Amino acid sequence: MNKSKDLKIMTEALAVKSGKILLGRRKKNGFGQGKWLGLGGKVEHGESIEQAMVRECEEEANIKVTDFVKRGVLTFYYTNDPNMEVHYYEIISYTGDPSDSDEMEVSWIDLKTIPYEKMWPNDRYWLPMFLKQEYFEGEFWFDEEYDITKHEIKRRKYE
């Protein structure tokens, strides 16, 4: 089986400042509705991963990302949904004030009270590495209830 076949390429971006992290809660019905997560989405035909990340941040939180650092790549294998390769970025600087959109409710959340219980279960594994500014790579497998059945995640040097 070719694991890389038919992967949806996605982005997720998070900003951290003054002991808080910028997260969004997905409003729309469907995949991820009601969960807290970073800003991001699908890479559209003809755009780079970085262009998609900048576009998604503008669409979801009304900010224009001006500087960022790649923090990791994770691949997700789902029983009920398309498999995804997600590229994670830390937003270093942006213009505009983060505000809600049709897609997301955005909020600065204290790093001591990150709502992991209202996030995807894999976030407990990679977000601590992200917050330490470590680069990570890994894979997660989910059952039909979106519980993790297997995972592998490692710190890597960014190349």
For residue range 21-39, list pLDDT tens digits in order.
999 998 876 677 789 999 9
Phi, psi of 19 (to 5 degrees): 75, 15
- Choose among 116, 132, 127, 130: nearest CA to 35: 116
Q: Which pLDDT tens digit goes with each residue over 66-106? A: 999 999 999 999 998 899 999 999 999 999 999 999 989 99
**Reported pTM:** 0.92
- CA dist 31 and 10 (Å) reads 13
Cα distance between residue 44 and residue 47, in whole Å: 6
What's the confidence (pLDDT) of residue 61? 96
